[in-house]
Structure 1
């Protein structure tokens, strides 16, 4: 794994699956991938959720691959008819796809140890685009793969998380983003907007956000306030902004 110093390294995620869009399945891969990448200095910049539609997957993968240093896809690489991610990613890069000997050997070994037959359906999980690099799957054996800057992971969160361990050494580290939070009780966003806007102009390298909060007290009344969050890679600038945020409370 190489490092880029203070360079920002970006990532995008394409979440694939009708079950996510329908609300039947709750996605947690975005959160776990973002949390995995943050200590590596890789910031998540964009997430798309698309259906099990080849054209939609191709468009999303191509768009994010062009805009981000790395792209992660989750879902759609299983043994069923609607698992079309491998075909779509291959098409996005103009690659052919077929059962590959190294992927097949992994599946055959895995299922032999489990005393399970490698059926025609399971063979779909050995179909790998031309020139792709396999991603190890320590949970269920069936590999993911990498084409250029795109990493194709399983949709099951535990499997996706296991695959990330094999991906990590391939990634270039960026500058790690730090954050500070200042909670102002009794404050309202509208009263802070002008000052925050000016602070953002003064420190363009720091990302500023304001998030209202409400809390019920023991007597049933509601207290309110605003959490001010500053994020950046320059510790000196971040410290100056933190001091300025504290002054807003005075």
Structure 2
């Protein structure tokens, strides 16, 4: 099993500001990641298909096909982690990036060390969890979640989730009927040192619900608990 500093782990940096792209690539390489960089969205998708990166650091404001379009296209063939870079301070821009399938965001200007730390934290999550997880699948109604194979079935049909979406669902399903606050979900999935807009949880829960075919108004799997957050189990 590779640790987050193994040179076999690959990061694709998609940033059209060349000095920033070089700086980010240098810091990642110092942490022993294999790195490729490009400032072009179409080229980024071609590289991702061939190179299969573990993480893509993706600028929201790319010329031509912007980061949103690139992220949506990437999600059609890859479940790699995506960290969106944005120069816009408005929270709505960050959340739009997340709604396209990004796992996390960093707002410019940022510390390259902070970005590397975010990447390392994401890469630890499934690799640290899966081997120590009980082998028995978790079942909630028609939903079956296999924590070892990281597979989800609904009524026998496979559901494709991103790594972060799976981790959010796993956190909830591991403690059915327990109401989680957004902060508790962030601590379980992104880590206790994560800082940012907690609405990130709402975006990922919405993605999971949509993929599971779960109606938020009459849920079978993920229930909203007003004033708290979310819990696993049908709404009552």
Instruction: Settle same-fold status: TM greater than 0.5.
Output: no
TM-score by length of 1: 0.29
Q: Which has the higher strand share?
A: 1
The structure number with the bigger radius of gyration is 1
TM-score by length of 2: 0.30
Q: Which has the higher contact order (CA 8 A, sep 6+)?
A: 1
